[in-house]
Amino acid sequence: MSSDPLVIFTPSGKRGRFSVGTPVLTAARQLGVDLDSVCGGRGICSKCQVSPGFGEFSKHGVTVALDALSDWNAVEERYKSKRGLAEGRRLGCQAKVMGDVVIDVPPESQVHRQVVRKRAEARAIVMDPATRLYYVEVTEPDMHEPSGDFERLGKALKEQWDINGITADLEVMRKLQPTLRKGAWKVTVALHKGHDEAQHRVLDIWPGFFDGRLYGMAIDLGSTTIAAHLCDLSDGTVLASSGVMNPQIRFGEDLMSRVSYVMMNPGGDVEMTSAVRTALNGVAQAVATEASIDPRLIVETVFVCNPVMHHLLLGIDPVELGQAPFALATSGSLSFAASELDLTAIHPRARIYMLPCIAGHVGADAAAVALSEAPNKSKDLVLVVDVGTNAEILLGNETRVLACSSPTGPAFEGAQISSGQRAAPGAIERVEIDPETKEPRFKVIGSDLWSTDPGFAEAVAVTGVTGICGSGIIEAVAEMRMAGLVDAKGLIGSAEQAGTPRLVPEGRTHAYVLHDGTAEGGPLISVTQGDIRAIQLAKSALYAGARLLMDEMGVDKVDRVVLAGAFGAHISPKHAMVLGMIPDAMLGKVTSAGNAAGTGARIALLNVAARAEIEATVGQIHKVETAIEPRFQEHFVNANAIPHATDPFPELAAIVSLPHVSFNTGSGGEGGGGRRRRRG
Ligand code: FES
């Protein structure tokens, strides 16, 4: 045996001896090397591509001769002429081992390849989707050994793919016989297997080899925004993303007002369920169009959302979530058919997975943030805040994780702000104010230029400057505080008090003009006293929630802070700290994570084992209820000042000195702002 050729696979380093004539794919299978195949080694799918190396490999102690693999064969030639095959590549199912050889498996041929993620994140995504394609050859029926076509399909899948047990609904059964005959007993099936299911479910069947791909959607269904990513289920690529307003906004801006709408309008829940489902069909169409794919190849969708959105999407009356003890209809994860949600735009038998909720106010969105940012795997104490209409807050490390949600309202998403808008081209997303001249400059989404740079007007000619998005308003208010235009209580000074004509009277208060586009027919974009108040309410709720978790944990300081934002928004750590949205921390220890809930949804979409993992993690997260905790109110009032009335911010003070200004003219009524926002 020892004279059999040695086969070494890279990058895994797995090696073994195989008799002459063994196909490379077979050797890979036997060694447990991650080499893809959809057609089962029939030379049709090209998923099994490998790159053999020739010559001296001193590292491995082998010399590979030019004839270490069998000759290029007709199947490979046919594939190359029809579809192309890169120079040096072989089909692993066709090339046979003839001598010692070193074989590289390129990333695109690995089943469990890692998805490239843009930033250094808590975890990599390893491809392991619940739905995959399998090409299979089924035995023809025989009168003497009667058996059903479905049973023979099951037998073929067992023999050719080692798949134990399949199930299918009636629609698939109806398609089965014509498809098998049309494909001359060769078919491709899309099989789905959830992490908690015993059998594979046949979602669809195509005659012959189906030379297409399957897709999935990861959807973060927020109170204000619906953010969707369309992913290729074979390699995890995000092919299109879409963010639209949640149409339920017309029934109430925040969660509580939507629950109230249901309480006051019998059947209101049905209206809202139908509105969001219609919007989701539109989103599916939009991402499919953007990616130029058939939306009926979207076979899976993962949802993350807060508990009220969760119930309204499912068609469950959310009234119980509006009153103590905030009971969920179900807190567990859910797997079911997309047809149950009337998602008619996607594959008719597509599957849905919804992450588990943590508690009545801490939903599947918080679970998704926990999956993405993994506080339960952190050695140091990390505070993760996901800023949306409701803030999801997690605090913890490897030993213990606490969670709460806090009713920030939609101000951080640009709503309830006089010039606010969602993050879209034309929205101001970055702001700087010169502390000497009090003059602003800004950037809008869609251009990298500052508004004072040459060429800015041309760069934004198409989109215009249309408003301020969430990250823009956070920076604007923090910059106004740093430039001495706003005092610690949140009062905007007058032109005389703060020394700039950009401060204009507005009723009994003042506003800061950020951009006056009226001469060109554009909007006048300013930050008003009402905007500052909305931001103060939002940030106080966020800070109070974080403090509550710190109290529970028995700490006054956290080691690091992760800021996760609404769709596309990246919050500036420095500005978040000047505003007092988050507890004091070293600036280098505050990072921005983008849409962590959406990332968590994507992880659960692409890796089926992550579903089991988050279900187990959620069971260990301790929930703190802000609504009934008296200290929340105290923390909320103290957090109203910018950055804070009582808590010191030593790390912030080391890098930023905030001017000691006070614009309280004694007329009263403006400095309070301690009104507690209703939960929502
Ligand atoms: Fe499909 Fe080789 S396994 S072409």
Identify the three-state secondary structure at position 200: strand
C-beta separation of 444 from 465 below 8 A: yes
Query: DSSP letters of 53-105?
Result: E-EEETTTTEEE-TTSBPPP-HHHHHHHHHH---TT-EETTT-BB-S-EEEE-
Q: Poorest-confidence range of 265-269, 478-482, 553-557?
A: 265-269
Sign of CA dihedral 444, 446, 448, 454: negative
pLDDT tens profile 55-105: 999 888 899 999 999 999 999 998 888 888 888 999 999 999 999 999 999
Q: Poorest-confidence range of 342-346, 456-460, 479-483?
A: 456-460
Q: What is the distance between the alpha carbons of residues 186 and 145, in angstroms, rounded to a whole number?
A: 20
Pocket test for ligand 1, best of 34, 91, 109 (most atoms within 8 A of CB): 91
Residue 290 CB partners (closer than 8 Å, separation 6+): 230, 239, 240, 242
Tell which atom from ligand 1 comes closest to the C-alpha of 49.
2
Average pLDDT estimate for 453-466? 92
Average pLDDT estimate for 118-127? 64
CA of 75 to the centre of ligand 1 (A): 10
CA of 95 to the centre of ligand 1 (A): 11
Average pLDDT estimate for 2-12? 89
Q: What is the distance between the alpha carbons of residues 676 and 543, in angstroms, rounded to a whole number?
A: 13
Q: What is the distance between the alpha carbons of residues 485 and 436, in angstroms, rounded to a whole number?
A: 11
CA of 207 to the centre of ligand 1 (A): 17
Of the candidates 623, 556, 567, the residue with the CA atom closest to the CA atom of residue 596: 567
Per-residue confidence band for 123, with pLDDT thresholds at 50, 70 and 90: low
What's the angle, vertex CA 394, arms to CA 412 and CA 417, rounded to 5?
A: 5
Is the pLDDT reported for residue 496 higher than 90?
Answer: yes
Percent share of the chain, pLDDT over 90: 69
CA of 164 to the centre of ligand 1 (A): 22
Per-residue confidence band for 117, with pLDDT thresholds at 50, 70 and 90: low
pLDDT tens profile 168-195: 999 999 999 999 999 999 999 999 999 9
Is the pLDDT reported for residue 466 higher than 70?
Answer: yes
| Residue 402 in contact with ligand 1 by CB distance below 6 A | no
pLDDT tens profile 282-330: 999 999 999 999 999 999 999 999 999 999 999 999 999 888 888 899 9
Res 229: pLDDT: 94
Write down the pTM of the prediction.
Answer: 0.84
From atom 1 of ligand 1, which residue's Cα is the shortest distance away? 45
Q: Where are the beta strands (DSSP E) in 157-199?
A: 166-167, 186-192
Tell which atom from ligand 1 comes closest to the C-alpha of 37.
3
Is the pLDDT reported for residue 254 higher than 80?
Answer: no
| Residue 440 in contact with ligand 1 by CB distance below 6 A | no
C-beta separation of 347 from 293 below 8 A: no
Identify the three-state secondary structure at position 457: helix
Long-range contact pairs involving 629-635 (C-beta distance under 8 Å, separation at least 24): 629/548, 631/547, 631/548, 631/551, 632/544, 632/545, 632/548, 633/544, 633/676, 635/543, 635/544, 635/547, 635/548
More confident residue, 461 or 252: 461
Per-residue confidence band for 583, with pLDDT thresholds at 50, 70 and 90: very high
What's the angle, vertex CA 114, arms to CA 111 and CA 119, rounded to 5?
A: 165
pLDDT tens profile 330-382: 999 999 999 999 999 999 999 999 999 998 888 999 999 999 999 999 999 99
Widest pairwise Cα distance in the chain = 100
Res 565: pLDDT: 74
Of the candidates 157, 138, 156, 147, the residue with the CA atom closest to the CA atom of residue 200: 157
CA of 215 to the centre of ligand 1 (A): 21
Is the pLDDT reported for residue 137 higher than 60?
Answer: yes
pLDDT tens profile 25-37: 999 999 999 999 9
Identify the three-state secondary structure at position 471: helix
pLDDT tens profile 501-535: 999 999 999 999 999 999 888 899 999 999 999 99
Pocket test for ligand 1, best of 26, 33, 39, 89 (most atoms within 8 A of CB): 39
pLDDT tens profile 560-579: 999 987 644 578 889 999 99
CA of 39 to the centre of ligand 1 (A): 5
Pocket test for ligand 1, best of 46, 49, 79, 85 (most atoms within 8 A of CB): 46
Is the pLDDT reported for residue 668 higher than 70?
Answer: no
**Beta strands 166-167; 200-207: pairing state:** parallel
Q: Which two tokens stand for residue 165?
A: 């047990």
Q: Count CA atoms closer than 13 A to 303's CA, side-chain side.
A: 30
Res 678: pLDDT: 42
R_g over Cα of the chain: 29
